[in-house]
Chain A
Amino acid sequence: MPIYSEKVMEHFMNPRNVGEIENPDGVGEIGNPVCGDMMTFYIKVKDNRLEDVKFKTFGCGAAIAVSSMVSEMAMGKTLDEAREITPKRVADELEGLPKNKFHCSNLGAQALNKAIDDYLEKQAKGGKK
């Protein structure tokens, strides 16, 4: 087991915003079982803000902590602000990630971004709202 920061352990033991959103405005899926980490982010958008963010994650302790942290950082943010959540910022908020686990943190921000992309695509196609 790698040595995780207290913050990573805290988010792993008590992950925030786990679950799915019914009729989400956007969904972002990333990863595959070969690399060992898979994340799905669900978002609800209201007035250009992330009204709700939830996730489901298959992966190591870091992947779960990262997902939890990303959901917390993104909650209530505007879409543009949420875009600024980078793997580096997530890792910093978690008080660091083991080097060989850094790829997990890339996934969290990427999955959120994909969910936002999904929302914007649906909007462009004349979806709801």
Chain B
Amino acid sequence: MPLLDGGVQEGGRRAGTENIPAIAGLGKAAELARENMAARVKHLSRLRNRLLAGLPARIEHMVLTGHPENRLPGNASFCVEFIEGEGMLMLLNSQGVAVTSGSACTSRALKASHVLLAMGLPHALAQGSVLFTFGIDNSEEDVDYVIEVMPPIVERLRQMSPLYAKFSKKGKGGA
């Protein structure tokens, strides 16, 4: 079983020549990342915490998934009750905000994230997953922008949702 496909050297088992520039480049990138890691972690954590504090405060029935502190510095994942993730994603996208829903590696499966289900979330709630990840180029203004544009998007989708209608009538139900 060859490890890499290509030429006939090494008996066809490990064809190809090492990509020296790429190896050197990756080494340099790792070096730079390590040098700036503390500053990056600080910056990303600040953005993440701003979103974690600001968004659920503006949107009812929105839960954080995962630990509030022991998580990747630039990662904020939520489940929004009564609505489905893709609609949120599309409307956020139309406002210039790039997010994902569910897990990227199963994004074609249309099913709720198996991870969220394994964490004990009910299906309907897990369908409303939305994941924000920050990069070094993001700023606090970006976070504030999200906190401003997302509540009306959630409200708009909830007004369309039969689950939310049932919840509003009964005061419970939904997920």
Write the residues of chain A forming the contact surface with B, with a CB cutoff of 8 angstroms: 1, 12-13, 15, 18, 20, 29, 32-34, 36-40, 56-61, 63-64, 100-101
Residues of A within 8 A of B111 (CB): 36
Q: Flag if A56 contacts B93 (CB, 8 Å).
A: no
Contact A12 B90 (CB under 8 A): yes
Q: Is B78 an interface residue (CB 8 A)?
A: no
Contact B163 A60 (CB under 8 A): no
Residues of chain B at the chain A interface (Cβ within 8 Å): 82-84, 86-87, 89-90, 93-94, 108, 110-112, 122-124, 127, 159-163, 165, 175
Query: Provided the pairs A33-B123, A100-B108 are in contact, do residues A56 and B161 lie with their beta carbons within 8 angstroms?
Result: yes
Cβ distance A100 to chain B, nearest Cβ, rounded Å: 6
Q: Note all chain A residues with C-beta closer than 8 A to B123.
A: 32-34, 36
- Report the separation of the CA atoms of residues A61 and B101 in the bound assembly, to the nearest whole angstrom: 13
Within the complex, what minimum Cβ distance (angstroms) separates B80 from chain A?
Answer: 12
User: Does B87 contact A60, Cβ atoms closer than 8 Å?
Assistant: yes
- Can you list 16 A-B pairs, Cβ within 8 angstroms, ordered by A? A1-B89, A1-B93, A12-B90, A13-B94, A33-B122, A33-B175, A36-B123, A37-B84, A38-B163, A39-B162, A40-B165, A56-B160, A57-B160, A57-B161, A60-B86, A60-B110
Q: Which one of B90, B94, B124, B159 has the highest number of Cβ atoms from chain A below 10 Å of its Cβ?
A: B90
Is A61 touching B108 in the complex (CB atoms < 8 A)?
Answer: no
Are B163's CB and A58's CB within 8 A? yes
With a CB–CB cut-off of 8 A, which chain B residues contact A61? 86-87, 90
Residues on B with beta carbons closer than 8 Å to the beta carbon of A36: 84, 110-112, 123, 127
B118 CB, min distance to chain A CBs, angstroms: 15
Partner of B162, one of A12, A57, A60: A57
The answer on a CB contact under 8 Å between B162 and A64 is: no
Once bound together, how far apart are the Cα atoms of A1 and B110, in whole Å? 10
Name the residue on B nearest A4 (C-beta).
B90
Give chain A nearest CB distance to B38 CB in angstroms: 35
Return chain B residues, CB-CB under 8 Å to A29. Answer: 162
In the assembly, what is the distance between CA of A42 and CA of B175, in Å? 23
Q: Which residue in chain B gives the minimum CB-CB distance to A101?
A: B110
User: A18 CA to B94 CA in the complex, in Å?
Assistant: 20
Q: How far is the CB of A34 from chain B (nearest CB, A)?
A: 5
- In the complex, residue of chain B having the shortest beta-carbon distance to the beta carbon of A39: B162
